[in-house]
Structure 1
Amino acid sequence: MTALIYSDEYKKHDTGNHPENQGRLNAIMSSLKNEGILDKIDIISPKPATTADLLRVHSKSHVEEVKSLCESGGGYIDYDTFAAPESYEIAKLAAGGAIQTADFALKNNEIAYSVARPPGHHATSDKSMGFCIFNNLAIALEYLKAVHKIKKFLIFDFDVHYGNGTAEIFYNDPDVLYISIHQDPRTIFPGSGFIEETGSGKGEGYNLNIPMAPSSTTDDYIYILDQILEPVASKFNADFYFVDVGFDGHVDDPLSSMALTDDFYGYIANKMKNIAGNMALILEGGYDLNALSRCNVKMINTLNNIMTEDYYKQELNVSENTQNTFNKITDVFSPFFEF
């Protein structure tokens, strides 16, 4: 990884003591500084997305509603998504950061990481939700389509919550393969992301959900991802890769019921680096500050070949739930992919 896109301006999206607050980014940046990582990579300040960038993904009415709310003093968009007076401009900055991240990765054939807030993967084309105002990744993807004429994209999302907004935006698009591994939607927000949600129309078969039972471990994740990611990526043969990085599946995270350890984030960084080579990483969730700090260091060190990961070579202890999930995915996706 050679570039990190970040700005202290993100703190102006002031959510108070909401779980999604600036303390998250402060924790990440502080840990990267303390470990000497910031001395080895480029730190790039983001530029705001334009209105035209937003409108490639979001409806005009949605953009105007967010702008109007913020100009009138802000407030809750829904029961858990808050906008401060400056949040419209900062949400544009987060979307612009995602664009710059993708642009850098594409032009330099490298890995770049957008450490931004508010996050984005729950935002649909016409609705903010789940702490997300605009869909940062989708805006960056549509930018690459429009400006650089990139055609085929693979998105891998390992936030513990299903990225329903991203999935909805590309649900009919056969040129965008969305793969999400997340906690069983019967047990967590947003209540969607079942195996049977495979896409529709020309996009059928290009929305691949991996719902994991509560208390799933790093072993469970490795078992199922080792069998799915590389075969699917190889067959799809994307022109560009996005990764929605979420750290809220960690065992210490207060907003989920999973049991991932720090080792997972080294494993998945190594896995995606081997698959993609160059890619844009977009920060989503992660709400235990200590776990967030450690796992970002582990992920980035692995991307930079500073840390080798041998964990995934060990014998795995896999639950029956995970084995059953993999078998069901194999059945449902047999018309589209072989695992």
Structure 2
Amino acid sequence: MNNKSLGLVFFPAFDWAITPSHPEREERLLYTRDQIVEEGLLDLPNIREYRPKLAKIQDAQRVHIGVPDIASLITDAHLVSAGGAITAAEAVMRREVTNAFALVRPPGHHAMRVVQGTRGFCTINIEAIMVEYLRQHYGLNRIAIVDTDVHHGDGTQDIFYHDPDTLFISFHQDGRTLYPGTGAITELGSPSALCSTINIPLPPGTTDDGLHYVLDNLVLPVLEDFQPDIIINSAGQDNHYSDPLANMAITAQGYARLAEKLNADIAVLEGGYSIEDALPYVNTGIILAMAGLDYSRVVEPDIARCPRQSAANTRYIAQLVTNWQDIWRQRDQLRREAVAQAGDFWQRRRSIYYDDSGIQERQHETVRICPHCRGYQTVATEAEGHPFGVKTAFAAIIPRNSCRTCRSQALDTVHKAKQEGHYDYCILQDKEQDTLEQV
């Protein structure tokens, strides 16, 4: 292995917790840091630690539409977590390090574009905020996000579902068996971005063998075809065989080999709730792999209890990969057909539950299919169980490089919604101007 320079950012968020005994608590990172210090990793010349910066509200608003607003829904801990990811990204972009790993909390990949509260332990989407920061400040375009958390990254998928320049790949325990219940292979992206979303729902009991079969035969070839400017790993670690919230069977060695093969520019911690039995070993393995160091001796003391993969699972995973290979080969044709079938507008209605906040949201989303640009999007949303009462909002989103017609139509829709007076809030998110405002 070749040594690489690795940046590390730690933020355990001592002052943020859902409840004191909640699985998502500060000990998730404290045990890991103790292990890293004990192993002397921070003393190695090619590993450099950075202090997280504080993200700005504007950084969050570049991604999210908060109801009533983002500032009232988050704490400073969320801004430091997002700022930690930005710190890691900037260290890579400035070529101070080869790659970087942000071990931060609170996590973010269940936070969608519209935010009414906290769901899946997430309020704002850390990786998405980092991605849009990189686009705004460094001009990056084609970005790949590989989500290796055991839970489907439904928030990240939602934010980039209409963006053909963001490849979102998620392999996760099948949503029919685990929260949040999404992430089917049929969730491909809206017509103009079809096949930019790749979901790989794996059966419970998938081991290192199954995960690396997917990686070698699907994920790495797709990344090679996509040719991203940068690769980001949403590095959830709850696929581990000891994790209390899921049913997978990945080991620290499996994670370390994943990190080595994926060769992500930036990794950002997501889930992982086996605080003592998994996280110190998994994170140590990932850090060593990202630094190009030998990780072969990183082994859990109870490794013998990790189950073997069944023959049925092996066959299922092979067929799943074959199905995706067929879809990927036909992606251009499938996208053209989807655009033609959609006509001028593509629409969907959804019901979204905020399990941590007890909020039930209903959304009606519309995307303008434009032959000259990426169109624009509108979202009409209504939420019950909100701490501020029943709240309704209408938002128009103008992507970068929108044509004059789409920009004008987006402005017209939000001003019309304001005049009709049916919504508590009417919001314009303009990515070209880097602004978010209530109309």
- TM-score tier, shorter chain, comes to 0.7 to 0.9
1:302 partner SS: helix
Aligned to 1:333: 328
Q: Does residue 14 of structure 2 align to residue 11 of structure 1?
A: yes
Determine the C-alpha separation between the residues in 1 that align with 2:131 and 2:84: 12
Q: 1:151 to 1:62 in 2, by over 3 A?
A: farther
Q: CA deviation at 1:266?
A: 1.5
| RMSD of Structure 2 on Structure 1 (CA) | 2.0
Once the two structures are superposed, what CA deviation does each residue of 1:169-190 show, in whole Å capped at 9, x if it has no partner? 0001011001111000100011
Higher percent of residues as helix: 1
Q: CA deviation at 1:247?
A: 0.8
**Contact in 1 for aligned 2:108/2:126 (Cα 8 Å):** yes
Q: 1:133 to 1:17 in 2, by over 3 A?
A: same
- Among 79, 86, 91, the alignment partner of 2:78 is 91
Determine the C-alpha separation between the residues in 2 that align with 1:45 and 1:132: 22
**Contact in 2 for aligned 1:111/1:280 (Cα 8 Å):** yes
- Among 264, 267, 274, the alignment partner of 1:288 is 274
Aligned to 1:120: 108
Determine the C-alpha separation between the residues in 2 that align with 1:111 and 1:293: 20
Aligned to 1:313: none
Aligned to 2:64: 58
1:104-183 pair list within 5 angstroms: 104-108=91-95, 110-127=98-115, 128-183=118-173
Determine the C-alpha separation between the residues in 2 that align with 1:169 and 1:241: 17
Q: Which has the larger radius of gyration?
A: 2
Q: Single out whichever of 54-63 and 286-295 deviates more from structure 2.
A: 54-63
Q: CA deviation at 1:61?
A: 2.6
Once the two structures are superposed, what CA deviation does each residue of 1:51-97 show, in whole Å capped at 9, x if it has no partner? 11010001143544xx436xxxxxxxxxxxxxxxxx61100110111
Determine the C-alpha separation between the residues in 2 that align with 1:336 and 1:100: 35
Q: AA paired with 2:202?
A: M
- Where does structure 1 lack aligned partners over 5 or more consecutive residues? 70-86, 311-315
Determine the C-alpha separation between the residues in 2 that align with 1:34 and 1:163: 33
Q: CA deviation at 1:263?
A: 1.7
Once the two structures are superposed, what CA deviation does each residue of 1:7-44 show, in whole Å capped at 9, x if it has no partner? 35x11113311000001010111111111112222211
Aligned to 2:360: none
- Bigger relative contact order, structure 1 or 2 (CA pairs below 8 A, ≥6 apart): 1
Overall identity of the aligned pairs, in %: 35
Q: AA paired with 1:59?
A: I
Q: 1:56 to 1:215 in 2, by over 3 A?
A: same
Aligned to 2:52: 46
Q: CA deviation at 1:309?
A: 5.8
Q: Single out whichever of 55-64 and 154-163 deviates more from structure 2.
A: 55-64
1:214 partner SS: coil
**Contact in 2 for aligned 1:270/1:309 (Cα 8 Å):** no
Aligned to 2:389: none
Determine the C-alpha separation between the residues in 1 that align with 2:197 and 2:43: 38
Q: CA deviation at 1:330?
A: 2.2
- Where does structure 2 lack aligned partners over 5 or more consecutive residues? 298-308, 333-439
Determine the C-alpha separation between the residues in 2 that align with 1:323 and 1:272: 20
Q: 1:156 to 1:309 in 2, by over 3 A?
A: farther
Q: AA paired with 1:112?
A: A
Q: 1:62 to 1:134 in 2, by over 3 A?
A: farther
**Contact in 2 for aligned 1:267/1:309 (Cα 8 Å):** no
Corresponding pairs, count: 309
Determine the C-alpha separation between the residues in 2 that align with 1:116 and 1:153: 21
- Among 228, 244, 247, the alignment partner of 2:234 is 244
Determine the C-alpha separation between the residues in 1 that align with 2:227 and 2:68: 34
Higher percent of residues as strand: 2
Superposition TM-score, scaled by structure 2 size:
0.67
**Contact in 2 for aligned 1:196/1:332 (Cα 8 Å):** no
Aligned to 2:36: 32
Determine the C-alpha separation between the residues in 2 that align with 1:207 and 1:288: 29
**Divergent runs of 4+, >3 A:** none
Q: 1:255 to 1:62 in 2, by over 3 A?
A: farther
